Structure 1
Amino acid sequence: MMAGGAGQFIASPADLVKVRLQMEGRRRLEGQPVRVKNTAHAFTQIVKESGVRGLWRGWVPNVQRAALVNLGDLATYDTAKHLILVKTNLKDNYVTHTLASACSGVVAAIMGTPADVIKTRIMNQPTRDGKGLLYSGSVDCLVKTVKQEGFLALYKGLIPIWTRMAPWSLVFWLSYEQVRKFSGTSSF
């Protein structure tokens, strides 16, 4: 959790710029003026509008999301792998690793999607003088989202998030297990 959260804190400005750039298509469809033209323009606009600290708008839910995804992925993989080995006749091989990675990807997506929804909404909200106009923070966004749209609104994008995470999880865990095997490290 700590490594995922720390890494995401450092990467938060790039994530904020990505969200701003991705929203330009929607803004154009709505007939709104272009907010940012490219990556460099997005960075300079954010700093101009909110100062250097503005580059970390949405960092709290961003870090929460990364910590939850890492927790879900890491803890679930070992737990699922252990249960598969104990409760079935499967051996400690690629089939077991694939099944355990599928479980870990699903849990990581389920744990991370609410924070991803909140992060995106906070990062993409309109601002004035560097302050968000819709949400004062993560908890405010969470409460307003559930109150206005229902609990399931926190899971908007779950399937695409999982389909993005699933290949990563599969490749990571299969690679990890091969490195573990070649280094002679035992599984448990």
Structure 2
Amino acid sequence: MQSRRLSYKELYACISTSVAQNGWLSLWKGWGPTVLRDVPFSALYWCNYESFKRALCKKSGIHEPTVLITFSSGAAAGSIAATLTLPFDVVKTHKQTELWQFISHSSQKSSSVWEIMKRIVSENGFAGLFTGIIPRLTKIAPACAIMISTYEYGKSFFRKLNKNKDMKNH
């Protein structure tokens, strides 16, 4: 439904039909694959980010990371995490589009994550699980880089602010 231009009336009709036929839980299609994508993504992201940041600081001979170090570490860590978790993003998209297919051809039943993965591989090969890698990396790498650079800058700013405040109080 996200890829189609639906009016609010059409969107309401789709949602109403789904809820009437399958209950309120039908609105959470794709939740399982989303969790399977986001939890490993976060673990991979933070682990790689800290490793890259530490290595670049060591190579540069500095204790605190620069904006360039945090930006490049965030982009690299986000790219790795996005690539490794892309199959679950592809499955999530397939799972969510089942809602539209179910409404259009009300004979289909919902597929499990593993059934969808097997279907994708049988129809498109293993590479089918990595459909959309370029758009995903184009979105994720800069988003992660900007997010972590902003986070690290804010952390550094407030650490200095608190340090100065503590020095004035002593």
Q: Shorter-chain TM-score category?
A: 0.7 to 0.9
What letter corresponds to residue 72 of structure 2 in structure 1? Answer: L
Cα offsets for 1:48-78 (capped at 9, x unmatched): 2321111112211111112122222222111
1:111 Cα deviation (Å)?
2.2
- Give the gaps of 5 or more residues in structure 2: 161-170
The alignment partner of 2:36 has SS state of helix
CA distance 1:52–1:70, shift in 2 (3 Å)? same
Q: 2:2 aligns with which of 21, 27, 30?
A: 21
Cα separation, 2, equivalents of 1:36 and 1:137: 29
Number of the residue aligned with 1:163: 138
4+ runs deviating over 3 angstroms: 34-42
Cα separation, 1, equivalents of 2:9 and 2:45: 36
1:144 Cα deviation (Å)?
1.9
Q: Does 1:63 align with 2:35?
A: yes
The alignment partner of 1:131 has SS state of coil
Cα separation, 1, equivalents of 2:85 and 2:72: 20
1:38 Cα deviation (Å)?
4.6
Q: 1:131 aligns with which of 94, 109, 116?
A: 109
What letter corresponds to residue 120 of structure 1 in structure 2? Answer: T
Contact 1:49 1:130 in 2 (8 A): no
Q: 2:148 aligns with which of 173, 182, 185?
A: 173
Based on CA coordinates, which of the two structures has the bigger radius of gyration?
Answer: 2
Q: Does 1:101 align with 2:74?
A: yes
Contact 1:36 1:45 in 2 (8 A): no
Cα separation, 1, equivalents of 2:2 and 2:76: 32
What letter corresponds to residue 167 of structure 1 in structure 2? Answer: P
1:37 Cα deviation (Å)?
5.0
Q: TM-score, normalised by structure 1?
A: 0.71
Give the percent of matched residue pairs that are identical in Structure 1 and Structure 2.
Answer: 24
Compare relative contact order (CA 8 Å, sep 6+) and give the higher one, 1 or 2. Answer: 2
What letter corresponds to residue 53 of structure 1 in structure 2? Answer: L
Number of the residue aligned with 1:120: 93
Give the root-mean-square deviation of aligned CA atoms.
2.4
Contact 1:62 1:115 in 2 (8 A): yes
Tell me the number of residue pairs that the alignment of Structure 1 and Structure 2 aligns: 153
Q: Which has the higher helix share?
A: 2
- Give the gaps of 5 or more residues in structure 1: 1-19, 26-33
Cα offsets for 1:103-127 (capped at 9, x unmatched): 1121121122110111111221222
Contact 1:57 1:122 in 2 (8 A): yes
Number of the residue aligned with 1:151: 126
Cα offsets for 1:150-170 (capped at 9, x unmatched): 111111001101111122212
